[in-house]
Amino acid sequence: MKIIVIALLAALTTGIVAAQDSEKARRSAEVQVKMRQVDLLLNIMPLAMKKAQYKELLTQLERVRAAQVTILTREDEEIVKLDKVLTDALAAAREKGVYPTRELLAECKKVTRGLALNRLIARDQLVDAYYETVAKTLDKGQQKIMANSLDWKAIDPGAKLDEKPEEDKVRFFIRVVFFDPLSYDLMKELERKASDD
81-99 pLDDT, tens digit per residue, is 999 999 999 999 999 999 9
pTM recorded for the entire structure:
0.80
pLDDT (0 to 100) of residue 14 = 53
**Cβ–Cβ under 8 Å, residues 82 and 107:** yes
Residues in Cβ contact with 77 at an 8 Å cutoff, skipping those fewer than 6 apart: none
Q: What is the DSSP letter of 82?
A: T
pLDDT tier for residue 115 given thresholds of 50, 70 and 90: very high
Give the dihedral sign, CA 172/178/182/186. positive
pLDDT-derived band of residue 108, with 50, 70 and 90 as boundaries?
Answer: very high
Q: Is 49 within 8 Å of 189 (Cβ atoms)? A: no
Q: Is the pLDDT of residue 5 over 50?
A: no
Which residues neighbour 84 within 8 Å (Cβ) at sequence distance 6 or greater? none
Give the residue extent of every domain in the chain: 2-10+35-191
Q: Are 186 and 41 in contact (CB under 8 A)?
A: yes
